[in-house]
Each structure stands twice: as structure tokens, then as C-alpha cells.
Structure 1
Amino acid sequence: MSVSDSAHRPSDPEQVSLPVQKDGLGLPLPTRRTPSWPPSPDEDPGLPPFPLEEPGPRPMAPGSLPSPALSLEKEEEEEDEDGEDAEEPEELRSEEHPSQFFAEAQRLREQRLLLDEDVSVGGRVYGVHRVILAAVSSLFRGRLLGSRGLQRPLSLDVTPGAWEAMLTFAYEGVLGPAPRGDVLVAAEALGAPRVKAAAQWGREGAGSTPEDEKQPSQAEELRENLRTMELLYQEGIGCDLELEAGGCRLRVHRAALACGSEFFGAMLLSGMRESQGTEVSLHTISAQDLQLLVSFAYSGVVRARWPGLLRAAQAALRYQSSSCLALCQRALAQGLNPARCLALIPMAEAPGLESLWSKARHYLLTHLPAVALCSTFPSLPLACLAELLDSDELHLLEEFEAFAAARRWLAANPDTQESEAKALLRCVRFGRMSTRELRRVRAAGLPPPLSPDLLRQLMVEAEVPGQERQREPDQALVVIGGDGLRSDMAMRQPSRGVWWARAFRCGVGLVRTVEWGQLPALPAPGRFRHGAASLAGSELYVCGGQDFYGHSNTLASTLRWDPSQGDWEEMAPLCQARSFFPLVALDGLLYALGGRDSGAALSSVETYSPKLNMWRPAPALPAPRFAHAAAVLEGQLYVSGGCGGTGQYLASLLHYDPRLEKPGTLLSPMGVPRAGHVMAALGGRLYVAGGLGETGDLLSFEAYEPRTDSWTHLTPLPSPHVGAAGAVLQGELLVLGGYSHRTYAPSHLIHAFCPGLGRWLCLGTLPRPRAEMPACILTQPTVQQIALVPTGHKTKPGR
């Protein structure tokens, strides 16, 4: 069934009439079996057609406020350098900028710097910044409008406590401690409606307000303060400084500029000539960079497509705007593709961009075949290409891809010295190649003017098997429990094993292995069909599931693994025993969603607070379901598929918001109803893979784009994975284990999908075949500190 077919389904995706007969593992039996077995990428004798880039996220709607930073887009009116069609610039907003802005304003006030207003209250004179107070008070807005330098002190007939509470609100976004009645009087006198609203919340509580309204948070109040100041700037109200650069003139507020930009703050507080006058000419900054820095200081927003973001990052780095630099780096790292990574090469050595370059380098290592097909690949410096080819972390389907990349670069750079070409080709590990790969190398040869003898010499030197490539992730992939076979293969048995992947290795030909280490085992007798999640990458929680195969064996217990203790600790149990459910972490809490108990599907949801060690009911799902999947994408929780209350397979995708009384919103359904599948968030999209459907084992693989509410079919899985574990590690989706409904045999295979290459790769195997288990990602140092003695266990992929 194609995605387009979904438009012809019933309007309610929950209503899919299917048989309810169950298989041996508790899922409904399919009505028909027409399994599809596409060839594995490992068996393709030719180089696969790699796409040049992953479809990137669509831009968010541009903001309604004008931004001088739009001038960054002039050079992008035509098609982007990396082949993308021109799009509306994306609005990127720094969440931390308002708090940093007002923290600096508070520091300046405490040190009596750049003050332009004296206020007398109760016999005491307070120095303030007019533009800060004008953001919350119409009285100060009027004084800012008619300001001509420092005026005589303004005397206010309000209580000192109420005045200081309002000052705290203007500079910190919260009311200071003062009688709320006094604050209300002061708010009326000063024309401060938001201060009045905050005082009414504190005085009367939320009970007197409409249900759909809630008290703004401190961060929201600071954002509103900054937005009001931006409006003052755009209207030119109270601007006391004119900046000029490259023919561009901007009138700004001296205090606001110092708070919003480290560069201008240093200039205005230096005591030099530029800090004294009302006009400043800047000879070392371009008009575009000036507009960017001023706009960001007032808004915390950058509007640009990718090339504009690159320029913005360079400007922020040069002119010391740390929050702008952090925002641009995050956006640049999320939108990487081959051409963009190559564009970042010249910035590789720039101090302050180490984090961005680290991500770009990792992308190059994991997407080299696609990078080699990029039109700008020949411009990659020789030393950089050699470093990539020589790295143990280079992630390839086969070693021939490394040779193909080197050969393409040499063909595009015919002036390369033979000694340099030889050094580059020695980074290719010919000793790891299979016989088939070596035949392809001989058939391809070297591009002219390089001598054919050079290739023969290198291949003779490599007759001794080359060193294996290995990847040691900076995070630990952990697999917990599951349903497997006893070591003697005599019967099925729930597992107690907790394993973590220490390294992924690739030897001669296509032989891949995983080196596993053990963590403390689960308490006896083990469990499967349970949920697991990590908090802050360190604490690991496991709850629910089953310890045997009957309906009465459903568990409610909760276990926690804390590195400070080393062993598992029993915590507060679930309110209701459940299995076949996902456990996810969101905003510091755990959510157990739906599942099955005593053979009945559940719609109930409960949430766990680690601080209180307590489970509490949360708003229920719209309908019962089990064997479904859940993932968090950009702070939003999504639930997909599963089996409904009568055993039907579901295609639905649900946005679950626990803050709402009716938390479920149905989105565009998947192209295929499925249960026992995996779902994960990666690169701004949701991916669902595998599972069981109407036709039996599902190999289908789909991606959901939240901005368009649409699904796309992708390269199918190489083999069945029903009841598998899923995780995202180093930018790849991993699907681990599970079983095949056709044979009921548990799987030990680990398949990884690389979005930028659009293909699956077998990474090796689990320590033992297992299914119905979760996987989590933990921080590597945490695992290494308390892990038991490494087993040194290595596994080879079964074929």
C-alpha cells in the first residue's frame, strides 16, 4: 500500500477490521503472508546509487517582525550552492538569548553602568535604564520618547517594595517579594499591565482565570520584554546612538546594544571615544554584519537559509556574539549534507567552531560515498581526504568505497604528484578487501597520468590483511533483557542480560563484529515486553513487561540502575501492571503509554517523577493499544501503530500532549498498519521500521515530516525485525534483534540506516538472538566507570 492510498481509507485510522487470532508471541496473526525479500545492500555487486543529501526540514513560517538580517539573503536569491531550490529563509530563535540579555542588564544596573534615568522612591534614588523600564511601563515609554539625556530624578508615589518588585519584573521577568495590593497600585500608576496581571496571579491564583489561560513563565515574560524593546527600536523611540558601517546607518539604544552583544558592550564600556558620542563609525565591520548583530541583539532571531547561516556564524564568531554563534552552530549542524560539509572545510581550524566542525567531520566519515559524488568534492584538501580515509571511524559498506573516493579525487586533480597520490592511496586498506572488491579495483585502475604500476605495488604491499576499521561511539548503546533461547537452545527463556556496545568493527571483506560489554544483570527471573528509558544519559529505568508467557505474568515493578550504586534498585511500582508498551522520557519525567494487562489492551497512561519516586495517572490515550511505539521529536511526544482493543493493526500516528485534558491529536497515518515495530526521531523526522502487519513480516520503512504532516516510503529493511529494539546512535537509526513471524526464529542481526546515504548496513550481531526488548542510549563515561569486566565477546553477522 502506498502512502497516497491513505487518502482513501476511512477517516478514523483506528478502525481497521482485521482478524484477532493471536500468534505464539501475543500479536494478532496476519490474514495472508506475502513477504518481500529485497537483496541486502551487502549483496549488491555494484556501487549503490547514493543520494546527494537527505531531504532537509522545511523552513518554519517567517516571523511577522521585520529583521535587518534579511540582507543576508541577497546572495541566495538563486539556487543554493548545494543544489537546493531557493526557499523562504528560516526563522531561528535563541531560547537562551533573552535570559542572557537581561542578566547583563542587571549586571550593568548593579555596577551603575549606562544608566540614563534616576527614580526617587521613598527618599531613595534608583538608577535604571529607560529602555528596560519602557518595555513594561507606559510611563517610562513616554519618558523615553521625550528623552534628551539624563533628566532630573523622577519622583514616584509608590511603596519601595512595590517599586522594587516592578524593577525585578523588568530585569528578571518575575515579581519581587512585596504585598500584591501595593504592586497593583504601582502597576496602575506606572501603566504596567503585565505587572498588574502577574500581581493578580500571585494574589488570586489560577482559580479566577479561564481554564485555557496559564500564568506566563519567567522565560516568556523576558521574551515579551525583549520583543517590546525591539518594537521601540523599530519605531525609533528613545534611540540615543547612531551606528554607521558601509553606508548603513542604524539608530539604537545604547543600553540595549550593550546587553545584547558582547562586541558592542565592550565598545560602549571601554571609556574610549566610541563610548562617549552619539555617533559611531565602524570601519572594520560590513553593513550586513552590523544589521545582523543589531537585529539579533534586539530579537535573538536569525532569519537565513543555510549559506546565510554560515555567514552569520562567521560574523558572530568575529564579533563575539556567543548566543548568536551557538544558535547558528546548532542550525548548521542539523542541516548537514555533503555539499554543506565541504563548505565548512575552510572553517575547520577556526577557534570557537570546534563543535560544528566535529559534527561535520563525523558526517563526512559516515557519508563519504555520497560526499565523493558531490560536485565540490575535488576541492577537498588532499590532507583532509587522507585523514578521512585513514580513520578507523570511516563508515563504509565495503572498503572499495574508500578506493572509489580516492580515485575520483585523483581523476579531478590530475596535477597531483605521484608521491602525494601514493600517500593518499596507502590510506585505503586494500588488505581488508574481499576477492570481489580487489577484482573491481584492478578493473577500475588509476586515472591518468598515474602509472598502473603504482596500483600493483600498493596491492602487493597490502597482501598481509590490513587493520580492521572500528568505531567507538561517544555514547553507549545498551540492550536490556528480552525474549531469547537458553544457552543450550532447548527452550525460550526471558533474559536478564544487560549489554552495551563497546565498539563496532569491520574486518576483511564484509565481516562486521560488535564488541560487547556487560552491565549488572536484571534481577531474576528476567523480563521481556518491558519498557526502558534513560534520564540525562545516566540513570536507566526499566518497568513492566513479563517474566513468563502467561497473561498472569505481567509485571508492575520498576527498576533503576544508577552508576553511583552499581546494581539495580527497586523503585515505586507502576499503578497498573503492563507489557507491550513504550516508556519515554519527556521534560524530566517518564511516561508509560498503554500496553496490555491480563490479555486486555490498555488506554491508560501514567507518569513517573524521579524526584518523588512516584507514579501518577496521566491523561489516557484516545483508544486502547499495545505493541505500539513512541518517540520524542523536538520536545513533542508521538505514538504510532500497535494493536487496538479488538486486535486490529493500527496505522495511526498520534501527537500526545500530557498537558492537555484530551491529549491525543491524530495526524496523517502511516502507509502501512503495523505493530511490534520501532520508531525513532532523527534529523527532524520520525522513522518507523519493521514490525508485523496484515501480510506478516513487514520490511517497509517510512519517514514522517511534521512540518508537512506527510509520510515517505524509504529503502526497506534487509530482513524481518518484529519486536525489535530501536535506538539512534551517532546520526543513524539502529534496529536490533526481534524475530521473523514467518519462522518464529529470534534474530541477532543489527541493521543501521544512514539517512544521508539512504541505505541499510549490517553492523554485526547481538550477543545472543533476542526479541521483545528495549534499547537505550547512555553516556559512555557512565557506563565505563561501573561496567563489569569486559567479556571481549565479538559476534559475526549471520548470513
Structure 2
Amino acid sequence: MTSGNLPSPAWSLEEEEAEDGGHGKPEELCSGEHPRQFFTEAQRLREQSLLLDEEVSVAGRVYRVHRVILAAVSSLFRDRLLNSRGPRTPISLNVAPRGWEAVLTFAYEGVLGSAPWRDVLAAAEALGAPRVKAVVQQRCEVLGSSQEDAEQPNGAEELRRNLRSIEVLYQQGIGCDLELEADGCRLWVHRAALACGSEFFGAMLLSGMRESQGTKVSLHTISAQDLRLLVSYAYSGVVQARWPGLLRAAQVALQYQSSSCLALCQRALAQGLSPTRCLALFSMAEAPGLEQLWSRARHYLLTHLPAVASCPAFPSFPATCLAELLDSDELHVQEEFEAFMAARCWLAANPATQVSEAKALLGCVRFGRMSTRELRRVHAVGLPTPLPPDLLQQLLVEAEVPGPERRREPDQALVVIGGDGLRSDMAVRQPSGKVWWARAFCCGIGLVRTVEWGCLPPLPAPGRFRHGAASLTGKELYVCGGQDFYSNSSTLASTFRWDPSQEDWEEVAPLCQARCFFPLVALDGLLYALGGRDNGIALDSVEVYDPELNVWREAPALPEPCFAHAAAILEGQLYLSGGCSGTDEILDTLLHYNPNLEKPRALLSPMGVPRAAHVMAALGGRLYVAGGLGKFGDLLSFEVYEPRTDSWTRLAPLPSPHVGAAVAILQGELFVLGGYSHRTYALSHLIHAYSPGLGRWLCLGTLPRPRAEMPACILHPAALVTTQHATKPAG
């Protein structure tokens, strides 16, 4: 029971609080794992006869249980918990043993077991267990009166409801048998429930030491605020706080060994990163157990250095850490001059820095990679006082020319499949069958950027374009539909699958209907092919593929036929935007499509401009749409949809046209790849990436060959370890 030496947040988050006036509604985060962990521990304690406080006799057999766990489902045990003062007397039940055991299993595991439903109903009636009774009656109605065994309930949902019932008992003070005191705060809790919900308190209450005995425990190393957090989370699995509060909750969870609370806070903290928040996380960088969170924060710092350098807290960032960022190959800057300006900004705010330390920091800037224009800007800006002017000249003379390149090797693989070359000579024009994946993104001298490409096995000849591609697990690729030539009759229905265990593509069940110009998305372990066009006719049909059954089946149709539209999955929900209608009208619609409903469509706020052959992707809880074709030709416009307000916001436009481009999300950035210009019919081989934190586009290099009307996917790098085909694939 030591407090450890984990520091409190050392960075000011006043800016974050000021965004909502410090009165923003706290976000409620609920752990999906905590109820299961809570009752798994309860079951372990029961099997080892620990903290048991109730004896139940059924048909001559005595069962020892935790009264608070049974009280979550039974009014009989809730009443015994309410009147638990005085000597504890065993209880005898006149019910069938299998019916009692079913209720007991329901309380600890959320399921009923295999008892006959008549026995379970009788036991539920005797114990005052309405939820058990309702589950059995519902299942029996579905299965018919002739069925002897009731179907199992949803164990995870029932455990969540069980935990909520125990939380209500705590809030009402029913049956609490232990008083905790810390820093003047006193809380009455259930000994058994607290041991199940918190590793820290479980270890304390089961240790056999003085704190595990009696009805009162004084805690001298925990603040009142931390005690309330730990107890509240133990009973609920919920953390309610704005971002600074989450930072504090993560520290408490780490310090007092609440693994599920720590995991919950880390996920939330990683999703809400900003320059100021990343600097705030630095105080926790060395804490064991937070390596994954710090890795995400470090990556954010590497990709948003200009924005980080403009934060008020940036001068307090340790020089050694800034040097490590500047020296990293993965530093993601538009030009090396930005790295120099970050170092200069820090030195200007820390004038007491020794010359030797300043030289070491500036030595991490790769002056040898700068263009002549960048070097002129460096000379024009110079070094801040009181550093000697000749230090800059010394650094430039000592710089290695050319300096080492910056090389980003993402932790996921970007894959581009097939596409069209748009050659003017139709006799030699054919779709590509190549499948490429990006090994690394390299930064040369000045703004020169290249991508190191590798090849996967090519698609079966003759290739295809206007097709769909997706991955269900990140370890395999599915490709279906599209066209293999340039007539309406050349639309495809075939579907192919590839994974690293295969040397070539495997043909699986074909689509029910041939289609092209359609998106293919993965949702809940299934693939959805939405709309498109066949033989020149727009489609409203939707098909869903089940990989376990290897079969396509019909899903609810779209509200109207459309093709050349885009789709994306945001927080488990499927959205479609734009496209062309059956009369070739370009649409501005945004549709929420729920395949589990008979009428699965809900129209949302339309985009700012109608568009087709565009891209859409989900990033940071928002939907981004970019490029495509508008009523008057190429679109450079770029906008983002905010689901909470059902509204669109215009952002920085694309640097160049991308009609029929591919899209992917890689390391928190939106990638738009290839496409063409409808005005000139010139193909694009450029890769543009948008960083929401910086609000700008960056050209990261080029495709191996110019291509349009092809999809892109993201795979786990482990899936490509054994596929080392070619480093510079042909087109």
C-alpha cells in the first residue's frame, strides 16, 4: 500500500479547459471488459471459498455464496442483505437443485446453464428473480412449449445488468459491511464486491493482514478523490471526466492496479490527442504500463511538430526529448526547415541553454537535406540570442551532405489493387492486375519524396478496375466486381480472396449480380457491396458476404439506385455519400445505412457540394469527403461531417484533382491516391495525405504507375512478411 512516485500532470491544460469554458459536459466512458472481469473474479473467490457470507441449503446440499452477488438478481437475498445485522443464519430453499443452480449460474456468469425450464421458473419464483423468469419465459415462447431446455441469454449483457444492480445496492447503502476512510472521506462498501472490482482492494482484503480484518480500514496513502474514483469504478466500470480528468484517472488506475480502468482511460486518451495533450502526457512517459499510450503520443508529436512547437507548454519540453524527435527518421515535416524552426523556437524560449547543449540540439536537424531555398531561409532567420552567430555556420559546415533521409515505416501496410491506365489507344489499353503495398515513405533533399513499393501476387488476368476491395481482419484481401474492359457488358461478378498462406488468389463465391462503380466495406465480420452499375444501369441492390458460409445474399436495398458513390464505417455505423443517380444526376446526399433494419436508411445533412467518384473515410470520430467530380468538372473541395451536430465544415482543398482515386487511413492521416482530372483526362500518380492536427495536405510521393478507379486497403504488416516479391513493381 505505497503511493509510489508517479508524478501528477506537470503541464498546464488551461487551453483545453478554456475551449468549453471549463464547464463542458464530462464524457462517460464505459468499459466493456469490466463486468466480465468482475464476475470472473467473483467466481474464482467462490471456488476458493473466499469472502463467502451466505449458506444456502437445497435438497440436503449446502452452497456457500456471496450474498451481494445473489442480491443482484434475487429479491430474497436482497432482503437478507438489507437485514444482515446480527448473527448469520443459513437459509433452506425448497426448490429443485438444478433450478437453484441455474439461478446461481445466472448471478455469477450471466447464463442459465442446461436446467429444465420448469425447474428454473419455479426457482426464479421462489427466489424473487424476475429477470431470470423473464429470460426463461421469452426463450420458451420462441422455442415452443415442447422444448425442455431454455436458450441461453446474452451473458455479457446480463452481467452488465447484474453489476448495475450491485452498484444500486452500494448507492443505497444496502448490506455494506466495510468502512473505508481516506483523507477525511468515508465510504461504506461491500467487502466482496470491492474485492471483485479492484485488484488493489482485492489484494488488501485477501492478504490476511490487519486491513483484511474488522469492519473499518483507514487508508493513509490515498486521497479522497482517488478513493472515490477507485470505488466508483469497481462498482460500475465507468469513468466520467473531461480529458484532464481522464489523465488523472489513468494515473490513479496505474498506481492502484486497476487494469480495466487503465485500459479504458488509455483508449480514450489516445483518441483525443492534441499538441497540448501530448505534452501533458510526457510526465507519464516512463511509467510502466503506459508504453502504448506514450507510443501513440510520441507518434503524434513526430507528425505534428510545427503545431507542437507553437504550444505555450513547448518550452518546458525536455531538450533531450526534443532532440530525440528531431533525430528520428520518422519525423514527418513538410520540409526540413520546420525541424530547424522547432529547435530555434525552443532555444529562444530557453536563453539559458549552454552553447554545447544548443549545438547538440541543432545537430539533430538535417541541414544536408535542405534545398537551397530552405538554406537561404535558415540564414535569414538565424539563431536566437544569446547564441553566437558563428554557431550556425559551424553547423552548416559540419552537416553531412546529403544528410540521411527521413524514412517512415508505418505499423500497417497500405495496399493498392488494380486500376485503369486511361491510355488513349484503346487497342493497347487494359486494366492493371498489379497489387502494390507501401513499405516505407522516404524524404529526400528539399521536397523530394518517394515511396518504396513492394508487390503482392497479381490479380487473375486480365485485371480489373472500378471494383471493390476490403479486408475483414487486416490479414487478408477480398476483391470483387468491377470491369475487365471498357464496355457495359464487361461488368464482373467474380470474387477473389488472398492471404499470406496462399501463393495466388483463390476464387470464392461470386456476387449475386455483376456490378462496378460501387464501394465494398467490412462491417461486423461481413462484407457489404452497395449499389453500383451493371450493363450501364444504376443499381439499388445491396449484397452481403458471409466468409464462414462462402455465400453472398441480398440485404435491404438502398433508397434509390446510385453508382460512383463512397462509403465508410464510423463507430460501427455504415454511411454512404454522393454518387450518381439512375438519371446520372450527381448527388449531395449523406445516408446512414443500417442493414439490420427492414428500412435501413436515414438521410442526414447533405454535403456542401454534390460529388461523385470521390473518396470518403472515417477518422477521429468524423467523416471526411474529398475530391471527385462535380456538376462543373473536377472538385478540389474537401469537407468534414460531425455526427454530433449533423453538420459539415469546409477544410483546406486538395492540391490537385483526384477523380476516381483510392482512399485509406494510415497512422492518423487521410491518404488520397491517384485518380485523374476530368478536365484534361490526365492521370495522377500523386499521393496526398491530410493531417487533421495540422489542417494541411502533404504530398508523400507517387504510385509506381499512374492509376485511377482502384481501391486501397490497410493490412497488418505481419500479413506481408512472407511476400517479398519485388521492390519496384512494373505498372
TM class, shorter-length: over 0.9
1:462 to 386, 392, 399: 399
Amino acid at match of 2:122: V
Q: Are 1:365 and 2:302 counterparts?
A: yes
Q: Are 1:715 and 2:652 counterparts?
A: yes
Q: Are 1:555 and 2:555 counterparts?
A: no
Q: State the percentage of identical aligned residues.
A: 79
Partner Cα separation in structure 1 for residue 398 and residue 298 of structure 2: 29
Q: Are 1:298 and 2:235 counterparts?
A: yes
Q: Are 1:607 and 2:577 counterparts?
A: no
Partner Cα separation in structure 2 for residue 657 and residue 80 of structure 1: 35
Report what 1:626 is aligned to.
563
Amino acid at match of 1:698: L
Amino acid at match of 1:645: G
Partner Cα separation in structure 1 for residue 493 and residue 134 of structure 2: 45
Structure 1 residues 487 and 314, CA gap change in structure 2 (3 angstroms): farther
2:261 to 306, 324, 342: 324
Partner Cα separation in structure 1 for residue 152 and residue 568 of structure 2: 29
Report what 2:472 is aligned to.
535
Structure 1 residues 460 and 635, CA gap change in structure 2 (3 angstroms): same
RMSD between superposed Cα atoms in Å: 2.0
Superposition deviation, residue 148 in structure 1: 2.6
Report what 2:148 is aligned to.
none
Partner Cα separation in structure 2 for residue 644 and residue 149 of structure 1: 76
Superposition deviation, residue 486 in structure 1: 6.7
Amino acid at match of 2:580: C
2:283 to 346, 359, 365: 346
Amino acid at match of 2:224: A
| SS of residue in 2 equivalent to 1:244 | strand
Q: Deviations over 1:37-95 (max 9, x none)?
A: xxxxxxxxxxxxxxxxxxxxxxxxxxxxxxxxxxx99x999764676632111111111
Report what 1:170 is aligned to.
107
2:21 to 64, 73, 85: 85
Q: Deviations over 1:470-491 (max 9, x none)?
A: 1000100000001115799984
| SS of residue in 1 equivalent to 2:249 | helix
Partner Cα separation in structure 2 for residue 403 and residue 364 of structure 1: 15
Superposition deviation, residue 787 in structure 1: 3.3
Moved more, 488-497 or 221-230: 488-497
Superposition deviation, residue 357 in structure 1: 0.1
Partner Cα separation in structure 2 for residue 76 and residue 237 of structure 1: 42
Q: Are 1:95 and 2:32 counterparts?
A: yes
Superposition deviation, residue 695 in structure 1: 1.7
Superposition deviation, residue 150 in structure 1: 6.4
Amino acid at match of 2:39: F
Q: Are 1:202 and 2:156 counterparts?
A: no
Amino acid at match of 1:251: W
Report what 1:155 is aligned to.
92
Structure 1 residues 200 and 690, CA gap change in structure 2 (3 angstroms): same
Superposition deviation, residue 792 in structure 1: 7.8
| SS of residue in 1 equivalent to 2:721 | helix
Tell me which of the two structures has the higher relative contact order, counting C-alpha pairs closer than 8 angstroms and 6 or more residues apart: 1
| SS of residue in 2 equivalent to 1:107 | helix
Structure 1 residues 206 and 429, CA gap change in structure 2 (3 angstroms): farther
Structure 1 residues 224 and 77, CA gap change in structure 2 (3 angstroms): farther
Amino acid at match of 1:483: D
2:176 to 225, 239, 250: 239
Partner Cα separation in structure 2 for residue 667 and residue 128 of structure 1: 52
Report what 1:69 is aligned to.
none
Pairing of 1:49-448 with structure 2 (within 5 A): 80=16, 85-86=21-22, 87-148=24-85, 151-205=88-142, 217-448=154-385
Amino acid at match of 1:407: R
Report what 1:690 is aligned to.
627
Q: Is the 8 A contact 1:175 1:198 kept in 2?
A: no
Structure 1 residues 216 and 707, CA gap change in structure 2 (3 angstroms): farther
Q: Are 1:569 and 2:497 counterparts?
A: no
1:636 to 573, 585, 588: 573
Moved more, 487-496 or 755-764: 487-496
Amino acid at match of 1:336: L
Partner Cα separation in structure 2 for residue 118 and residue 659 of structure 1: 46
Partner Cα separation in structure 2 for residue 150 and residue 356 of structure 1: 50
Structure 1 residues 506 and 82, CA gap change in structure 2 (3 angstroms): farther
Amino acid at match of 1:385: L
**Structure 2 unpaired stretches of 5+:** 1-7, 146-150
Superposition deviation, residue 189 in structure 1: 1.4
Amino acid at match of 1:259: C
Partner Cα separation in structure 2 for residue 651 and residue 701 of structure 1: 13
Q: Deviations over 1:492-548 (max 9, x none)?
A: 321100000000001101000000000000000100111100121101100111111
Amino acid at match of 2:63: Y
Report what 2:454 is aligned to.
517
Report what 1:769 is aligned to.
706
Partner Cα separation in structure 2 for residue 359 and residue 416 of structure 1: 29
Q: Is the 8 A contact 2:113 2:152 kept in 1?
A: no
Q: Deviations over 1:155-202 (max 9, x none)?
A: 111111111111111111111111111111111111111101111233
Amino acid at match of 1:762: C
Amino acid at match of 2:514: A
Superposition deviation, residue 149 in structure 1: 6.4
Partner Cα separation in structure 2 for residue 669 and residue 238 of structure 1: 55
| SS of residue in 2 equivalent to 1:345 | helix
Partner Cα separation in structure 2 for residue 204 and residue 83 of structure 1: 53
Amino acid at match of 1:498: V
Report what 1:37 is aligned to.
none
Report what 2:600 is aligned to.
663
| SS of residue in 1 equivalent to 2:437 | strand
Moved more, 414-423 or 128-137: 128-137
Q: Is the 8 A contact 1:690 1:697 kept in 2?
A: yes
Q: Are 1:757 and 2:694 counterparts?
A: yes
- Structure 2 length-normalised TM: 0.95
Partner Cα separation in structure 1 for residue 13 and residue 144 of structure 2: 52
| SS of residue in 2 equivalent to 1:205 | helix
**Structure 1 unpaired stretches of 5+:** 1-71, 209-213
Superposition deviation, residue 708 in structure 1: 1.1
| SS of residue in 2 equivalent to 1:535 | coil
- Structure 1 length-normalised TM: 0.87
Partner Cα separation in structure 2 for residue 369 and residue 245 of structure 1: 44
Q: Is the 8 A contact 2:570 2:623 kept in 1?
A: yes
Structure 1 residues 748 and 490, CA gap change in structure 2 (3 angstroms): farther
Q: Is the 8 A contact 1:206 1:215 kept in 2?
A: no
Q: Is the 8 A contact 2:436 2:729 kept in 1?
A: no
Partner Cα separation in structure 2 for residue 394 and residue 468 of structure 1: 10
Pairing of 1:582-593 with structure 2 (within 5 A): 582-593=519-530
| SS of residue in 1 equivalent to 2:471 | strand
Q: Is the 8 A contact 1:174 1:218 kept in 2?
A: yes
Q: Is the 8 A contact 1:132 1:229 kept in 2?
A: yes
Q: Is the 8 A contact 2:624 2:638 kept in 1?
A: yes
Partner Cα separation in structure 2 for residue 487 and residue 335 of structure 1: 48
